[in-house]
Amino acid sequence: MPKKPAVTNIRSGNLFITATFNNTLATITDLQGKVVCWGSTGHSGFKGARKSTPFAATTAIEATVRKAKEMGLTSLQVFIKGPGSGRDAVLGVMKTSGLKITQLADITPIPHNGCRPRKRRHG
């Protein structure tokens, strides 16, 4: 299967951060939603318990943003999802990245009423 041609020269895009308790995933898309580059703490070389640290999240996000900057990215909309330790790491990386942040949003799914509770035990 031939490799897709590399997308170059995108000016603005979206950065989606998924911060779970065990991992942090960073995906950069163009404004149409096509994935340009991605990274994770595992992809950055961390294994096991070190994958879930804020330092690992910082490293993974920096690597992903660096890849996108090489493609010409200058401005980002940032969307953060999940309860993990990577949430706080995002803000520090974004300040030092040199990219223009046009939007910062938390898109963590919150149940409005949740699941139906279990049946009451009787006996």
Strand partners, 26: 17, 39
Phi and psi torsions of 119, nearest 5°: -65, 145
Q: What are phi and psi of 28, to 5 degrees?
A: -110, 125
List, for residues 15-47, the tens digit of each pLDDT value: 999 999 999 999 999 999 999 999 999 999 999
What token pair was written down for 56?
Answer: 């690992």
Domain parsing of the chain, residue ranges: 12-106
Angle at the Cα of 32 from the Cα atoms of 30 and 37, rounded to 5 degrees = 30
Superfamily of domain 12-106: Ribosomal protein S11/S14 (3.30.420.80)
What are the pLDDT digits (tens) for 72-100? 999 999 999 999 888 888 888 988 999 99
Q: Is residue 41 within 8 Å of residue 56, measured between CB atoms?
A: yes
